[in-house]
Chain A
C-alpha cells in the first residue's frame, strides 16, 4: 500500500515568490493534515481537513497561506508571497479520521526561501 505522497521534496525560491505543495493521502483516509516543522522543533498543525472541509485552520496564517482539498482526496498548500521565515519542512499526514487514530506522515517538502 502506498504511503502519503508529497511533492516536490525540495523547493528553493526567492522571497515574495509564490510556492505550492501537493499531497496525496493514503487511499481511504478521510482526514488530511498539514504541519509546519521548523528546524529543531516538532511539527505544528496548520490545517486539518475532514473530507473536503477544513475543520481546524486556526493556526494557518491566512494572510499569505491558503489550502484546498478538492474532491476530498489530494490537497494543495500555497504560500503567496513567501517570506524568509517560511523556510521549513511542510509535512502532510492522513488518517482514517477517528479520535486517537494513527496519523501517517509523508516525507515532507523542504522549503528554502532566499
Chain B
C-alpha cells in the first residue's frame, strides 16, 4: 500500500525566506508524486508532479521538488516566500496500475509573515 507522511502540520516563514515543506512516501512500486495547493474555500490545484522523468521537478509559482529515492522523499521548496503563498499544501502518491488513485498526506498549513 502507498502512503505519504507530511512532517509539520503548520509551517511559518517570513516573507522572502526559503519555504521547505517535507513529504516522505512509502510505496512498494515506483511512485508518482504530486504536490497540490489549497486556498481557503477552494479546490486543490496542482503545483507539480513527478512521473519518473527528471528527479528535479519545477512547478508553478516558483515551486520545485526533488525526488530522492534513497531518502523516499519529495520535499517542496521555494527560494523566496510571498504572502500569496499562504495556503495548505498536500503531498500525494499514486502508482502505475493504480488507476490514478491518489493517496494524500494530511497537509501542511503554510503561514507567511511580514
**Chain A residues within 8 Å of B, Cβ to Cβ:** 4, 31, 40-45, 48, 55-56, 91, 93, 95, 97-108, 110
Q: Bound complex: CA of A103 vs CA of B34, how far in Å?
A: 10
Taking Cβ atoms with an 8 Å cutoff, the residues of B that contact A are: 9, 32, 36, 41-46, 49, 51, 90, 92, 94, 96-102, 104-107
Contacts of B9 in A (CB 8 A): 40
- Tell whether, in the assembled complex, residue B43 and residue A31 are in contact, meaning their CB atoms are under 8 Å apart: no
18 A-B contact pairs sorted by A residue (CB < 8 Å)? A4-B43, A40-B107, A42-B90, A42-B104, A42-B107, A45-B101, A48-B100, A91-B44, A97-B100, A99-B94, A100-B32, A104-B46, A105-B36, A105-B43, A105-B45, A107-B42, A107-B43, A108-B43
Given contacts A40-B107, A42-B90, A42-B92, contact A103 B102 (CB under 8 A): yes
- Chain A: CB-nearest residue to B6: A42
In the complex, A102 Cα to B96 Cα: how many Å?
14
Contacts of B45 in A (CB 8 A): 105
> In whole Å, how far is B93's beta carbon from the nearest beta carbon of chain A?
11
Q: A91-B43, A107-B41, A108-B43 are in contact. Are A100 and B49 (CB under 8 A)?
A: yes
What A residues does B44 contact at CB under 8 A? 43, 91, 93, 105
Residues of B within 8 A of A44 (CB): 104
CB of A41 within 8 A of CB of B100, answer no
Q: In the complex, A45→B100 CA distance in Å? A: 11
Contact of B96 among A40, A41, A99, A106 (CB under 8 A): A99
Contacts A91-B44, A108-B43 hold; do A31 and B100 have CB atoms under 8 A apart? yes
